[in-house]
């Protein structure tokens, strides 16, 4: 193995790793960190690039659909669930949190403190079909990004976003509608694949 290019696990490696479910044509970089394999479902035609950290331990859950790309250096903190539907794209350095501490000062913070002293915000994060999230963006707990929406780089998503919009900013705000032409391309791809 080349130390400068650790490559991707083989399908055989992934089948024996202990995932809850895993499809075909899945490529996961060898230098990724994944915890809670038994709580992770991965569809087909998925690529997870290097230095990603995926945490779904304990009661966590992560469901990744098909035709998904997760760019390098991403964090998916799935303690209360993350779902990525088909054809989603997550650019480099995106952070998705299904749990977040209370930063008001009214409660203690961090996972070493007993739960009765904290006020953790929890909730499923769902990215519906054809969602794309730009580099460096952060998505907070209990958020749904509607089908076909895109989130620009360095955005903060703290509330659910409607379908088929282009969003950007901190907090993310709708700039305009997003084209639905990609639905035609999806159908073309399905016909081509048979």
pLDDT in tens, the chain (194 residues): 687 889 999 999 999 999 999 999 999 999 999 999 999 999 999 999 999 999 999 999 999 999 999 999 999 999 999 999 999 999 999 999 999 999 999 999 999 999 999 999 999 999 999 999 999 999 999 999 999 999 999 999 999 999 999 999 999 999 999 999 999 999 999 999 88
Answer yes or no: pTM beyond 0.85. Answer: yes
Sorted by where each begins, the domain ranges of the chain are: 11-193
Homologous superfamily (CATH) for 11-193: Hexapeptide repeat proteins (2.160.10.10)
Q: What is the CA radius of gyration of the chain?
A: 17
Q: For residue 110, count CB atoms less than 10 angstroms from its CB and return exposed for 0-12, middle for 13-18, buried for 19 or more.
A: exposed
Q: Please give the span between the terminal C-alpha atoms of the chain, in angstroms, as a whole number.
A: 36
């Amino acid at each position: 193995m080349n130390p400068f290019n650790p490559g991707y696990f083989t399908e055989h490696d992934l089948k024996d790793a202990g995932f809850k479910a895993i499809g075909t044509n899945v490529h996961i970089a060898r230098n990724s960190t994944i915890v809670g394999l038994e709580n992770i479902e991965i569809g087909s035609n998925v690529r997870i690039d290097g230095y990603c950290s995926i945490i779904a331990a304990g009661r966590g859950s992560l469901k990744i659909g098909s035709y998904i790309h997760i760019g390098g250096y991403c964090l998916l903190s799935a303690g209360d669930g993350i779902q990525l539907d088909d054809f989603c794209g997550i650019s480099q350095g995106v952070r998705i949190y299904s749990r977040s501490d209370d930063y008001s000062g009214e409660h203690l913070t961090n996972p070493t403190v007993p739960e009765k002293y904290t006020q953790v915000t929890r909730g499923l994060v769902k990215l519906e079909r054809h969602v794309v999230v730009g580099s460096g963006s952060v998505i907070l707990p209990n958020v749904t990004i509607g089908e076909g929406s895109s989130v620009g780089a360095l955005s903060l998503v703290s509330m659910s976003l409607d379908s088929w919009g282009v969003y950007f900013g901190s907090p993310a705000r709708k700039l305009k509608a997003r084209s639905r032409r990609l639905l035609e391309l999806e159908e073309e791809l399905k016909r081509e694949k048979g």
